[in-house]
Structure 1
Amino acid sequence: MALPSRSARRLTLTATAGTALVCALGLASAPANAASVETWDKVAQCESTGNWQIDTGNGYYGGLQISLATWNAFGGQAYAAYPHQATKKQQILIAEKILAGQGAGAWGCAPGTGLSTDKAKPYPDGNDLTGDGKADLVALESDGSITAADGTGNGFSNYHKIATGFGAHVNADRLN
Structure 2
Amino acid sequence: MNEPRAGFAKRLVVRFLLIAAVALGLPVALSGTAGADPSADAWAKLRMCESTNRYTVNTGNGYYGAYQFDLPTWHSVGGAGRPDQATRAEQDNRALYLYRMRGWQPWECAGMLGLSNDRDARSKVKPSYSESAYISGGGATPAKPAKPIKPTWPGVVYAYGDCAPELRTFQLRMNAFGYGFEGTGCYYDKTRRAVLDLQRANGINDSGRLGPKTWNAAWNGKAPR
Could you state the TM-score of these two structures normalised by the residue count of structure 1? 0.47
Bigger share in strand: 1
Structure of higher CA gyration radius: 2
Could you state the TM-score of these two structures normalised by the residue count of structure 2? 0.37
